[in-house]
Amino acid sequence: MSQILVRNINILTMAGPENIIENGEIAISGDKILSVGTSGSAPKDFKPELEIEGEGMVAMPGFINCHTHAAMTLLRGYADDMPLMEWLNKRIWPLEAKMGEEDIYYGTLLACLEMIKSGTTTFNDMYAYMDKAADAVSESGMRAVLSRGLIGAAPNGSEALKDGINFVEKYQGAAGGRITTMLGPHAPYTCPPEYLEKVMEAAEDLGVGIHIHLAETLDEHRDIVKQYGKTPVQHLESLGLFNYRTLAAHCVHVDETDIKILAENHVGVAHNPESNMKLASGIAPVQKMIETGVKVGLGTDGASSNNNLDMLEEMRTAALLQKVSNMDPTVMPAYKALEMATAGGARALGMEGIIGQLKPGMKADLILVDFSAPHLMPQHDYYAHMVYSAHSADVKTVIIDGELVMQNRKVLTIEEEEVIKHVKRCVKKLLS
């Protein structure tokens, strides 16, 4: 059991805006946080094997990316500046049909590298060949919630559901507990009601949640209303899908009734502002969701529609977008944006009490951010600097599950050059 002491550091616990500890220390024992407090507060009998000097840095929980498709890093820049359905049908889905296990493995490893280097410690992923994604997660040291993407209307829909069930049975709790699983029906417009009923039966049997795209575009909203006489949110509620722990990605086109349904059913929402902007999907009414009690976290979506996995950029965009769309500079203050990227993301995924805050007994998933750079001076407000000023390159050290995963910008679990070499080879093969 490894024991680490991070000392002489300013700490954002994310347990409330006032919970900042200056010149503090964090004691880590095994995979959990033993103590968080001012200098000298660690238990007297605590004997660290490793001491990390934190002077000039800020410690905080690692970012939680609530919605992405990690292996889509291979498609970064491949199909830009297109409407969503044209982007999917003409560019993305045809190339994805050619992707195999090796592509998913190296695409996911590339995503893990990018996320670790920008301070993300947990991500929620939906894609194909998820056993290979799980291998990449295990190797990287990251924490992940994984689901096999299911398109019920596709010829292989039934086979995909069997794969999704087998994946859950095999990988729930894998990598020493760092991997958890969900079922991943793609969206209401690709999964008809009878298919979603089968997904719900499987979720009941397996005791897992459901990860689904929902109300992402105006076209989706219109088509579902035309077909079922209900909005996408009301359609899923009528099927009983929200009786299961649900993470709904996007929720851009939702009205007050939809938002009330999401709140009452404790649905977690993954807000993906940059992807929604790039695909011109719209602006999600996040402020209204939060005021109504919806559990909202942040996601990047895949790197083919963003085009990066940088949660620092995502929360800055989220804050600014809500301010301008509401024409109110007080909306989405810095702490709230940072909370969505940490503790709020944990709540959206149903992992509160495990990750998202720096408190004794919680998993030791934290990042150390160098605050000595000119763009982070003077330090009037740590939260404002994290949201409006910090860059991903300011993240110096990453600890996940009590293990040192990145130190002084060097990722310790993955050979970066090797991954990039294999990624280039995979892409060349896909495009040939």
Whether residue 227 sits in one domain with residue 91 = yes
Are the beta carbons of 272 and 250 closer than 8 angstroms?
Answer: yes
- What is the domain range of residue 191? 63-348
Predicted pLDDT of residue 319: 98
22 and 122 belong to one structural domain: no
Residues 6 or more apart in contact with residue 363 via CB below 8 angstroms: 31, 32, 33, 143, 354, 355, 401, 402
Last residue of a domain, one of 348, 365, 385: 348
Claim to verify: residue 291 and residue 398 sit in the same structural domain: no
pTM, to two decimals: 0.97
Q: pLDDT digits over 171-210, tens only?
A: 999 999 999 999 999 999 999 999 999 999 999 999 999 9
Q: Please state at what angle helix 130-140 crosses helix 101-117, rounded to 10 degrees.
A: 40
Q: Which residues contact 161 (CB under 8 A, 6 or more apart)?
A: 150, 152, 195, 198, 199, 202
Residue 2 pLDDT class (50, 70, 90 cuts): confident
- Domain final residue pick, 348, 368, 385: 348
What's the rounded mean pLDDT across residues 32-38?
Answer: 98
pLDDT in tens, 146-160: 999 999 999 999 999
Q: Is residue 178 part of a domain?
A: yes
Out of 319, 348, 377, a domain closes at: 348
Q: Is residue 269 located within the same domain as residue 394?
A: no
Query: Does one domain contain both 47 and 170?
Result: no
Q: What is the mean pLDDT of the chain?
A: 97
Q: Is position 420 within any domain?
A: no
Using only the alpha carbons of the chain, give its radius of gyration: 21
Task: Give me the pLDDT at residue 340, please.
Answer: 98
Q: What is the pLDDT of residue 84?
A: 79
Task: For residue 53, give the nearest of 8, 4, 119, 3 by alpha carbon.
Answer: 8
Here the CATH number for the domain that contains residue 42 is: 2.30.40.10
Count the residues in the chain: 432
Residues 56 and 86 in one domain: no
- Please check the confidence at residue 145 and state whether its pLDDT lies above 80: yes
3-class SS at 57? strand
Q: Quick check: 114 pLDDT over 70? A: yes
How far apart CA 334 and CA 195 sit, in angstroms, is 41
Considering the domain architecture, whether residues 385 and 259 belong to the same structural domain is answered as no
Does any domain span residue 173?
A: yes
**Same domain (yes/no): 27, 55:** yes
- Flag whether pLDDT at 392 surpasses 90: yes
Q: What angle do CA 374, 330, 328 make, to 5 degrees?
A: 115
Residues 67 and 56 in one domain: no
- Let me know whether 68 and 123 are in one domain: yes
89, part of any domain:
yes
Same domain, 191 and 328: yes
User: What CATH number does the domain containing 328 carry?
Assistant: 3.20.20.140
pLDDT for the residue 394: 98
Does residue 419 sit within a domain? Answer: no
Within a domain: residue 422?
Answer: no
pLDDT at position 1: 66
Domains: count for the chain: 2
Q: What is the mean pLDDT of residues 80-103?
A: 90
Can you point out the beta strands (E) in 156-310? Answer: 179-185, 209-214, 246-250, 268-271, 295-298
Does the residue 317 lie in any domain? yes
Contact in structure between 251 and 288 (CB atoms under 8 Å)? no
Give the burial string for 1-23 (b: 16+ CB within 10 Å, else e): ebbbbbbebbbbbbbeeeebbee
The reply to whether 274 and 182 lie within a common domain is yes
Residue 275 resides in a domain:
yes
Ranking 87-96, 132-141, 281-290 by mean pLDDT, the lowest is 87-96
Q: What share of the chain is helix, strand, coil (3-state, %, to 5)?
A: 40, 25, 35
